[in-house]
Amino acid sequence: MPEQFDYRSAPDPDMLGPGPEPQPSRRGFLFWLGAGINAIVAVAIAIPVVGYLLAPWKSGGSQKWVSLGTIDSFPEGQTRLGEYRNPFTTPWDGYTANTPCWVRRQTGESFTVFAINCTHLGCPVRWFPESSLFMCPCHGGVYYADGSHAAGPPPRGLYTYETRIKNGTLEIKAGRLPTLQQTP
Ligand code: FES
């Protein structure tokens, strides 16, 4: 006859103390691993996006005042080629950061500075003092001396920079590339 188990002699569970620590389950481990990887990917995506959104505040906007030289270097009533260094460059931009523009001095401290790029497809326009016209070598775009559109495919006149005179120096606001809606 099998031996009967005597429940009265079984130890009281409250007297046994805490059992062994529960081991983490595989499902829980994979859940937290996936959550961690997702968090890393989210941060990696967010950093450039946030940087892009904050860049205008951080750098004071996408434009800066740059000098084109003393106003005496631009004779009255003439249009001369100017050049400035793009204020938003990296060290390896080298020579390509030097940006030409056309500077027209009407009288005294009255200046108009034109972007050199044609408003059609961006070719550099040239100034012809003999005819007082800007001409584009690519598709025959023509502009008057004040930069307004004269002929050819360009949809509008030349872009102009904002200018100011500071301590006898002509400065323009440069940096942002022009679009059909805005001046540079
Ligand atoms: S790029 Fe100047 S006319 Fe086309």
- Averaged pLDDT for residues 69-93: 92
Tell me how many domains the chain contains.
Answer: 2
Residue 30 falls inside a structural domain: yes
Residue 183 falls inside a structural domain: no
End-to-end CA gap in the chain: 104
- Averaged pLDDT for residues 147-165: 94
55 and 126 housed in the same domain: no
Q: What is the pLDDT of residue 17?
A: 62
72 and 103 housed in the same domain: yes
109 and 85 housed in the same domain: yes
91 and 167 housed in the same domain: yes
- Say if residue 48's pLDDT is above 70: yes
Give the rounded distance of the alpha carbon of 58 from its chain centre: 12
Q: How far does residue 142's CA lie from ligand 1's centre (Å)? A: 9
Q: What is the pLDDT of residue 123?
A: 95
Domain span at residue 75 reads 64-174
- Say if residue 3's pLDDT is above 70: no
Residue 96 falls inside a structural domain: yes
pLDDT tens-digit readout, 88-121: 888 888 888 999 999 999 999 999 999 999 999 9
Q: CB under 6 Å to ligand 1: residues?
A: 118, 120-121, 123, 136, 138-141, 152-154
Distance CA 3, CA 134 (A): 115
130 and 69 housed in the same domain: yes
Q: What is the pLDDT of residue 90?
A: 84
52 and 140 housed in the same domain: no
Q: What is the pLDDT of residue 116?
A: 94
Nearest atom, ligand 1, residue 123 CA = 1
- Averaged pLDDT for residues 23-51: 90
Q: What is the pLDDT of residue 81?
A: 96
114 and 56 housed in the same domain: no
Q: Which of 61, 85, 117 is the last residue of a domain?
A: 61
117 and 167 housed in the same domain: yes
Distance CA 176, CA 88 (A): 9
pLDDT, averaged across the chain: 86
For residue 160, count other CB atoms closer than 10 A to its CB.
20
56 and 92 housed in the same domain: no
Strands in 106-147 per DSSP E: 111-115, 126-128, 133-135, 142-144
Q: What is the pLDDT of residue 168?
A: 92
- Say if residue 147's pLDDT is above 70: yes
92 and 168 housed in the same domain: yes
Q: How far does residue 178's CA lie from ligand 1's centre (Å)? A: 15
Ligand 1: residue of 139, 159, 180 to mutate (most ligand atoms within 8 A of CB) is: 139
142 and 100 housed in the same domain: yes
Q: Which of 11, 45, 61 is the last residue of a domain?
A: 61
81 and 137 housed in the same domain: yes
Residue 44 falls inside a structural domain: yes
Q: What is the pLDDT of residue 53?
A: 80
Q: How far does residue 144's CA lie from ligand 1's centre (Å)? A: 15
Residue 102 falls inside a structural domain: yes
Q: What is the pLDDT of residue 61?
A: 64
CATH of the domain at 72: 2.102.10.10
